RNA sequence: GGUGGGGUUCCCGAGCGGUCAAAGGGACCAGACUGUAAAUCUGGCACGUAAGUUUCGAAGGUUCGAAUCCUUCCCCCACCA
């Protein structure tokens, strides 16, 4: 008989591997668990989203998640999956990043509790955000070696994939600093085990080595069991890391990746993966998803997925607006609208400001396309226009010499540029 | 340390004195078809409206002319020690 969390996670395909089967038994009672996030940037990106969803699922089943920000480990750099030694970040930046991540994680996890209440079993608790710098920094090197280092065999550390791959590349190698990373992560788990009775760590499948280092340490020093569980690392249908776009990572922060763009990323997922993604990233019950999948929904699943995920990350209001904007954008020409309409519709579409006087004189369409970043050069913009992929206010423009003027405004001060089927850009007069 | 093979445009990979802005594939961008899908087909893909300008690890050199030849340097890979 499985605990409800594991049963649910399993159905959603969120379990990659787990340390012991007894975990199931243990999870029948409310447990404290944690997941670590490295403050390498001031926002998480879609790659980490699955971990947040993982934590949220536990919480929705009545368990108590802790989010750990790796203020200390961030100073070191995790060698996992990295072929090069990392560049060390400064203390200042890490602190700033850690604060930003804390807020972001808190917000998203709280929001998750409010979604699909029918599948929530647990009570809402504020989740603690901890920073391992708080307990790691006071250690002296000698003490750490005596109390923690003593419990690790270098022999077994070298067996870990993250280390092994770096050792076999004799040019790069691995620094002593990065080699020590797993000790710190292991100690984190031990610390939380003692201080917060945290018995489970979850992480991406690439974190397996680091997680088991923690469970081993706990077993050696306390003779008590601790558990680890990893979620799968997702790939897109064409074999890329999930959440990566041509323009880099898909950030969860609205200023780094516009919600509209974020939403569109999910709408664009391949048919072969939507059902899977719905199960993994949303809190809709798996039965309901199976029902949805049976109907011949022509893209409806993608829109549902995109809406749910945008809701989780940016909130319901933003998600609703983005949906409205998308409907508008994939439909009629844009005209006879007011600034307010457009602003509401396009709040989360990328935009560029332009001087009123410039537009009064007229600005070349090609120039506008390249300046807004819709195209990377004038030449590329020209080709786009010649191929019929350029639009002003949803009207196709096939004249490369076209000059954009005040007459092109769709509302008092705005006009909408479009490249291809789906890339929109708002031009605002100032 | 020794010997051999390499470094080509986002990636893989041809080219081996002019016809090379550089074959082919992938990725990517448009168009058609569709469901804001997939598959397929078509066009594009250094910069430039063009003339032309800057590219083939780096710097020099030989030549009317170099990605292609020479020199030095940097870096990779294979085998040997």
The CA distance from A397 to A80, in Å, is: 49
For nucleic chain B, which protein residues have CB less than 7 Å from any of its atoms? A 169, 171, 237-238, 246, 264, 267-268, 270-271, 298-299, 301-303, 326-327, 330, 366, 370, 376-380, 382-384, 387-389, 419-423
A205 phi and psi angles, rounded to 5 deg: -60, -25
∠ CA A421-A367-A389, rounded to 5°? 20
Please give the sequence-ordered ranges of beta strands (E in DSSP) within A193-272, or none if there are none.
Answer: 198-204, 227-231, 244-245, 248-249
CATH numbers and ranges of domains, chain A? 4-231 (3.40.50.620), 244-328 (1.10.240.10), 351-429 (3.10.290.10)
A277 phi and psi angles, rounded to 5 deg: -65, -35
- Protein-covered nucleotides of chain B (CB closer than 7 Å) are 27-32, 34-38, 43-50, 75-77
Token pair belonging to A390: 């350029």
The interface pTM score, or ipTM, of the predicted complex is: 0.82
The answer to whether A237 touches A255, Cβ cutoff 8 Å, is: no
pLDDT in tens, A211-264: 999 999 999 899 899 999 988 877 665 555 666 665 567 889 888 888 888 888
Question: Comparing C-alpha atoms, which of A341, A328, A316 is closest to residue A424?
Answer: A328
- Matching residue, tokens 């064409």: A238
Please give the sequence-ordered ranges of beta strands (E in DSSP) within A108-189, or none if there are none.
Answer: 129-131
A369 CA to B18 C1' in angstroms comes to 39
Indicate if the pLDDT at residue A169 is higher than 70.
Answer: no
- Matching residue, tokens 């600093």: A177
Token pair belonging to A294: 């049976």
Per-residue pLDDT band at A281 (split at 50, 70, 90) = very high
Q: In the predicted model, what is the mean pLDDT of residues A188-199?
A: 93
Query: Which residues are CB-contacts of A235 (< 8 A; sequence separation ≥ 6)?
Result: A241, A242
| A60-99 burial code (b ≥16 CB/10 A, e <16) | bbbbbbbbbbbbbbbbbbbbbeeeeebeebeeeebbebbb
Indicate if the pLDDT at residue A337 is higher than 80.
Answer: no
A246 CA to B14 C1' in angstroms comes to 27
pLDDT in tens, A353-407: 888 888 888 888 998 998 888 888 898 999 999 888 999 988 888 888 889 998 8
Nucleotide nearest to A379 (CA to C1'): B48
């Amino acid at each position: 008989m499985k605990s409800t969390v594991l049963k649910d996670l399993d159905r959603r395909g969120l379990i990659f591997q787990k340390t012991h089967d007894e975990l199931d038994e243990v999870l029948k009672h409310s447990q404290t668990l944690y997941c670590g996030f490295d403050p390498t940037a001031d926002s998480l990106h879609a790659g980490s989203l699955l971990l947040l969803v993982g934590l949220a699922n536990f919480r929705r089943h009545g368990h108590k998640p802790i989010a750990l920000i790796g203020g200390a480990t961030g100073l070191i750099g995790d060698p996992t999956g990295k072929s090069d030694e990392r560049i060390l970040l400064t203390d200042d930046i890490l602190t700033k990043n850690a604060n930003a991540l804390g807020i972001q994680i808190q917000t998203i996890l709280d929001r998750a509790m409010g979604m699909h209440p029918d599948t929530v079993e647990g009570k809402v608790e504020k989740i603690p955000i901890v920073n391992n710098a708080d307990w790691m920094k006071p250690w002296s090197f000698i003490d750490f070696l005596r109390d923690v280092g003593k419990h690790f065999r270098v022999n077994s550390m070298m067996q870990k994939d993250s280390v092994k791959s770096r050792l076999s590349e004799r040019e790069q190698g691995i620094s002593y600093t990065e080699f020590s990373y797993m000790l710190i992560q292991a100690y984190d788990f031990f610390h939380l085990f003692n201080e917060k009775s945290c018995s489970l760590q979850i992480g991406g499948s690439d974190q397996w080595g680091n997680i088991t280092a923690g469970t081993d340490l706990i077993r050696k020093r306390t003779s008590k069991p601790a558990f680890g569980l990893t979620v799968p690392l997702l790939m897109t249908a064409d074999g890329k890391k999930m959440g990566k776009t041509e323009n880099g990572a898909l950030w969860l922060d609205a200023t780094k990746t516009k919600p509209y763009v974020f939403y569109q990323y999910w709408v664009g997922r391949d048919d072969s993966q939507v059902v899977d993604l719905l199960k993994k990233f949303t809190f809709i019950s798996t039965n309901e998803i199976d029902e949805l999948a049976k109907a011949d929904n022509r893209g409806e699943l993608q829109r549902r997925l995109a809406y749910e995920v945008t809701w989780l990350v940016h909130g319901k209001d933003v998600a609703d607006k983005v949906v409205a904007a998308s409907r508008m954008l994939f439909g009629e020409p844009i005209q006879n609208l007011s600034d307010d309409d457009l602003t509401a519709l396009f709040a989360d579409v990328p935009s560029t400001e332009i001087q009123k006087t410039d537009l009064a004189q007229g600005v070349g369409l090609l120039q506008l396309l390249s300046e807004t970043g819709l195209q990377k050069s004038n030449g590329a913009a020209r080709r786009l226009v010649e191929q019929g992929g350029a639009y002003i206010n949803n009207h196709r423009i096939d004249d490369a010499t076209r000059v954009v003027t005040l007459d092109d405004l769709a509302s008092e001060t705005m006009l909408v540029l479009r490249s291809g089927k789906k890339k929109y850009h708002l031009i605002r007069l100032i």
